[in-house]
Amino acid sequence: MYRNFRIVPNIIFGRGAFNQLDDVIKHKRTSSESYFVFVVDDAFTGQPLESRIPLKGRDLLLRVNVDDEPKTTYIDALVKQIRTYHFEKPVGVVGIGGGSTMDIAKAVSLMLNNPGSSADYQGWDLIKFPAVYHVAVPTLAGTGAEISRTAILTGPEKKLGINSDFTLYDQILLDPDLIAGVPKEQWFYTGMDCYIHDVESLQGTFINEFSRAYGEKSLDLCRQVFLQDHPDRDDKLMMASYFGGMSIAYSQVGACHALSYGLSYVLGIHHGIGCCIAFDYLDEIYPEGVAEFRQMMARHDISLPRNLTKGLDQAAMEKMVTTALGLVPLWQNCLGPDWADIMTRERTMELYTRM
């Protein structure tokens, strides 16, 4: 059986495209009561971008903090805040920020139309009702969250996405100018998330021409961005992120992402840096990818934190291993149907011990 998957129907791309946001969403403002919720990374508080947000009438500016990656409890609290703000639902939600903010905006727009807690919907196709119209404006490039069908959340029991066709954005606005001011380390870690998506997709056993077409182009763009000098590197990285996301949509990520989930769940390490930390120990699985990744690190003078698991007790280590090995499709993609014989608990533990 082939998957029949949805893609984002509306895309606007280009430098300065943010100026058109008002125009792009105004068809939803059907009455004077209509209002939008702008979910904005609080890194932009008081910054020029914030003053460019096209707020109208009753619109709500909802600043969100992403020091911790999004939790289900946070989503539930934000939804409650919107419900308290006005008895009617907003006509749209616009997420402005990196992968975390984009995922928050996705989850909020879903939960405005679905009962219960966001934790109830962590999994695949559990969402019952379509989301409120939602729009993404990325300010970081690499995660592919702008085009993926998941909103990754840390819940009481697991870190797992709300995966559904309803999760997908209705509209994305890709303005490369918005990623110009990102600090170098963050730019690199989030960009490497994309590079690793490409390597894991292209080298996986689930690979097919659809995923390869996107993955190869994305990888090519990542090389231009991280190993060459181009004045339009921000444009390139935004498209690399989009293509990388499209590539994994029809395949899967692999060992690096599985291991990074363990680091994230137990140590709270963020996705991009967590992927970089794990990837650096995966020479055996991705020899060429890891060698090229190290060239990219050297070129941008990036040094990764080490000895992260030193001093962790056995229970925490075991939890990390269990989290990583629980991501069965990722291992199947990476190592094939006999993955469990290859990536044993001992080998996984050994990898974590070295990190």
d(CA 339, CA 21): 46
Pick from Zn ion, ligand NAD, none: which does 140 bind, CB < 5 to 8 A by kind? Answer: ligand NAD
Which residues touch 198 (CB under 8 Å, ≥6 apart)?
215, 216, 218, 219, 222, 240, 244, 247
Residue 103 makes contact with Zn ion by CB under 5 A: no
Q: Are 320 and 265 in contact (CB under 8 A)?
A: yes
If binding is defined by CB under 6 A, does position 50 make contact with ligand NAD?
no
Burial class of 34 by CB neighbour count within 10 A (0 to 12, 13 to 18, 19+): middle
Among 193, 200, 234, 235, binds Zn ion (CB under 5 A): 193
> Is 200 a residue that touches Zn ion (CB under 5 A)?
no
Choose the binding region for ligand NAD from 143-151, 207-215, 225-233, 331-339 (rule: CB under 6 A): 143-151
Please give the Cα distance from 1 to 123 (Å, whole number).
20
Binding mask 191-220 for ligand NAD (x = CB under 6 A): --x---------------------------
Work out whether 98 is an interface residue with ligand NAD (CB under 6 A). Answer: yes
* Near ligand NAD by CB under 6 A: residue from 118, 122, 148, 309: 148
Task: Give me the least distance between CB of 128 and ligand NAD, in Å please.
Answer: 20
Comparing C-alpha atoms, which of 156, 199, 213 is closest to residue 296?
199
In the complex, least distance from residue 193 CB atom to ligand NAD, rounded to whole angstroms? 6
Looking at beta carbons only, is 18 or 279 nearer to Zn ion?
279
User: Residues 38, 62: contact at Cβ < 8 Å?
Assistant: yes
* Residue 185: other Cβ atoms inside 10 A: 15
* 3-state class (DSSP) for residue 189: helix
Instruction: Enumerate binding residues for ligand NAD (CB under 6 A).
Output: 41, 43, 66, 69-70, 97-101, 103, 139-140, 143-145, 148, 150-152, 178-179, 181-182, 186, 190, 193, 270-272
